[in-house]
Amino acid sequence: MPTETLDSAPTLGALYGRALLTARSGGDTLPDRTLELVNATIDADAVADYAHVCGFRVGGELPITYPHMLAFPLQMRLMTDREFPLPAPGMVHLRNVITREQPLTVGEPLVVRVHAERLVAHPKGAQVDLVSTVGTPDTEVAWHSRSTYFVRGATADEATDAAPPEPEPHVGDRPHAVWKVPGDIGRRYAAVSGDVNPIHVNGLAARAFGMPGTIAHGMWSKARVLAALAGRIDEAVTVDAVFRSPLRTPSTAFLYTAAAKDGWDAALRSAKGKDHLLLTVRPA
């Protein structure tokens, strides 16, 4: 797969405008190239702002979910290309699997790479995987993720291979925390991540895309759960999360956690017991 090296990180605001213009276009196949950003810089203030919004401790080490902030502009650059077969507006994040081989720190020069693969049919549309890696000049890959996105009503060929089994956490029936999810968390997370997908920041737009109203970003939910597990996660881990039902804002969510034989299990549920997020932490 050829590599296209970018001079700087794409501007997300411009890409969302581009997404609206390219929503009705699209090719039949995924872009056959990897986007690469060399010597990506980490802004300490941006990391601190992200940590505050997601509940992480502020320090020199990047939160395990933060490299997604570096990869997401490259993901959007691919997904807003006219050749990309699925429209970016209204895209829903279904699953995110992160493997951290070693922690990354503020100030390190990083190399970010993103490509798309596995465009397949979904019972209600189509889905695609965006694969991202982040490394240092001395370490080829220190962090890896696979984000699965879904578009309702889109079409794609049936998968010829099965996806890895989804996480099945075992957490019991007693919550360990009750969270009041603020009504503005979509806007606050958008401000630190650049992910201004309208389903998270505008109620009318969210309903136009089939949502019950504004919903929290899936990656905020994942980050918030991992922040609650801070100090109990090893350096080299794989964190697999599926986003089940939309987490409306504002709302109340219940966090369930349990120590597993070799890691941690967690679930975020509604007052009625509906799963919003299912998550497992296992050794890498």
Over the stretch 178-228, which tens digit does the pLDDT of each residue have? 999 999 999 999 999 988 888 899 899 888 888 889 999 999 999 999 999
pLDDT attached to residue 22: 64
Are the CB atoms for 248 and 185 separated by under 8 Å? no
* 283 in Cβ contact with 238 (< 8 Å): yes
How confident is residue 28, by pLDDT bands cut at 50, 70 and 90? Answer: confident
What are the structure tokens assigned to 175, written together?
């919550």
Rounded alpha-carbon distances, angstroms, from residue 134 to 26, 113, 137, 191, 256:
28, 7, 10, 22, 30
Q: What is the pLDDT of residue 76?
A: 93
- pLDDT above 70 covers a percentage of the chain that reads 98
Name every residue whose Cβ is closer than 8 Å to that of residue 38 and which is 6 or more positions away in sequence.
5, 111
- Which tokens in the block code for residue 258? 């349990």
pLDDT of residue 63: 97
**In the prediction, which pLDDT does 222 show?**
98
The mean of the pLDDT values for the chain is 92
pLDDT value, residue 205: 85
The domains found in the chain, sorted by start residue, are 3-158+165-283 (3.10.129.10)
